[in-house]
Chains A and B, each alone.
Chain A
Amino acid sequence: MIVANRKTLEEILSMLKPYQKILLLGCNECVTVCATGGEREVGVLASEIRLSRAKDGEPVEIKEFTLERQCDHEYIDQIRSFAGDYEVILSMACGAGIQYVAERYRNKVVLPAVNTTFLGVTLEQGVWAERCQGCGECVLHLTGGVCPIARCAKSLLNGPCGGSSNGKCEVDKELDCGWQLIIDRLKELGQLDKYEEIIPIKDWTPARDGGPRKRVREDLKL
C-alpha cells in the first residue's frame, strides 16, 4: 500500500487561513489502511479544524466526504454536484489522489492534508515499513526476495557497505541492514552462490529518472 502521514494541524491551519468553506475529502484505499486519510481521520481532522478556528474567532464550514478512491475519475466525479459550494478542497489522499482531484476541478484550490511517504507493508498494528521504490525493474529474484533499492540506505546493488554492524545499518542503529537481510535469506534458500555474481550497473530509465511514467494497455482501452 501507499503509506502517508498526516501533516501537523498547524501546517494545515496555515494553508486554510484564507478560507471559510472547506470540502474535506478522504479516500477509502491505502490511506484508510494506514490510518491517515480515511473516513475516521476525516472526522478527526474536521473536528480539530472547527475547534481551532472557532477558538480563533474565525469559524469555518466543513463538509466531510470520503471517496472510494481519489485515483479514479469515476469516483472523483461523485463530488461534482456540490464541490462548487466550497472555496477549497482539502484532500487526505496520497499525492496521486490529491493531484487527480486538482486535475478534475481546475478552478478549485486543492490542498494536501498528508505527506505521502512510501510503498510499504503493515508490520504490526500501527507500524508500517517501506518495501518498494517502484524503480521499474525488479531484481528480487537475484536478492532473495529482499529489495536492495528500497531497503539499503544507499540502494547498493552489490552491498553491504562497510557500515553494516551487527545486522544494523550505519544510518540508524534501529534499522536493519538490507544486505544483511539479503544474505540471511539467500543462505536460508541455499542460494548464497548468487551473492558471488556482480549485479551490473542499473538502468534507471524505467524508474522516475526516465521522466514521469505512464502505462498503456491497448487491449483494455475502450
Chain B
Amino acid sequence: MKTQSNIERILESGQLVVTSECGPPRGADPEVIRRKGKLLQGVVDAVNVTDNQTSVVRMSSFSSCLILKEMGFDPILQMVCRDRNRIAIQSDILGAAALGINNILCLTGDHQKFGDHPKAKNVFDMDSIQLIQTVKTMRDEGKFLGGEELKGRPMLFIGAAENPFADPFEIRAARLGKKVKAGVEFLQTQCIYNVPRFEKWMEMVRNRGLHEKVAILAGVTPFKSVGMARYMKNQVPGMDVPDEMIERLKGVPKEKQAEEGIRICVETIQRLKEIPGVRGIHIMAIEWEEKVKEIAERAGLLPRPQIK
C-alpha cells in the first residue's frame, strides 16, 4: 500500500469500492456537513467533497473534508484547476496531507460562467492531467514542480474523473490513457444512464489494458423526477440520458417518480457491477444523500468492509 487510503485498501482486498459525495454548504455552518455525513455513515468507503462545484462559492472542500474526517470518514479532496495556480495547488496538497487527508480527485473544474461569480478571472495554470502529474511528482519523487525537494511527502491516493459520454467519443479512452500515464490510481465516471454506451467505452478501455492500471468506479445519480431527467438530458453538458429512461419515468404517476428513479438507479448499479473492469460504484445523490443507504442496500453493496 502506498497510502492510508481506505479506497486503496479495499481495492487491494479485491472488493468493490463504494463512494458517494457530499456538497459543502453555502455558509459557514459545519452542521450541514455533519448532517449529510450522518446519512452516509456505514454506507460508503470514502466520500468525495466537491470543490465549488458548478463554480458556485461554497465552504472549501478542504475544511469540509476535515469535518468529515472527524466523523470517521475517509474523505476524497476534490481539487479543480479553475481557482488556483501551481503555487496554491501544491501548498493545499501539502496542507491536506498534513491533516490526514488520504485521497485527492484531480479535476479541471467547471467554467466560472456557470456559477454565481461569472465575472471572475479563471486560472487554469495547469489542467487535470498535469494536476495528476503534480501530485505524483510530489508524492513519489518528493519534489515540487519547480524541481526542489520537499520534506514530508504528501501520501495521497490519486484519483480523477472521466466523462465516457463527452465528445469526441473516439478519444475518450485515449484521454483516460493520458491520465493513467500521468499516474492516476482511481477513476470516477460521470453519471451513467446509457449503459450500452458505457460498455462500449469500457471495451475501448480494456482494449488498451487501462482497467488494469486504474480502478474504475462507475458513477450513478438517481432521478428524483422526470423533470430532473429532462434537465440532465438537455441542460447539463456531456450528459447522456436515453429517451426510454424519460419515457419510463413519465409512465408512472408523479408521486411515484422518485421511487422509479431509485429503482432505475439500483438496476443500473446491478448491470454496472457485472461489467469487466468496473471496480466500484460512485453514488452521487445530488442533495438527496438520505437515499444513498437505500440504493446501496438494494443494489447489494452493503455491508461495507470495516475500516481498521
Contact = CB atoms under 8 A, between A and B. Distances in A.
Contact of B168 (A162, A164, A170): A164
Given A195-B171, A196-B178, A201-B145, A170 B110 contact: yes
Interface string B116-158: 0000001011111110011000000000010000000000000
A198 B178 contact: yes
Contact of B162 (A162, A166, A198, A204): A162
Given A158-B127, A196-B178, 13 more contacts: A153-B113, A154-B127, A161-B108, A162-B190, A163-B237, A164-B167, A171-B113, A180-B167, A184-B168, A198-B181, A198-B182, A201-B133, A202-B125
Contact of A201 (B126, B162, B174): B126
14 contacts: A154-B122, A160-B166, A161-B128, A163-B237, A164-B167, A166-B167, A167-B168, A183-B168, A196-B174, A196-B178, A198-B133, A198-B181, A201-B134, A201-B145
A154 B82 contact: yes
Which 6 pairs across A and B sit closest by C-beta, in order of nearness?
Answer: A162-B163, A170-B237, A158-B129, A156-B127, A163-B237, A201-B130
Interface string A136-174: 000000000000000001111111111111110011000
B177 interface: yes
Given A162-B166, A165-B238, A156 B178 contact: no
Question: Interface size bucket, B side?
Answer: 35 or more
A177 B167 contact: yes
Contacts of A158: 127-130, 175, 178
Contacts of B162: 162
Interface of A: 153-167, 170-171, 177, 180, 183-184, 192, 195-196, 198, 200-202, 204
A202 B111 CA distance: 20
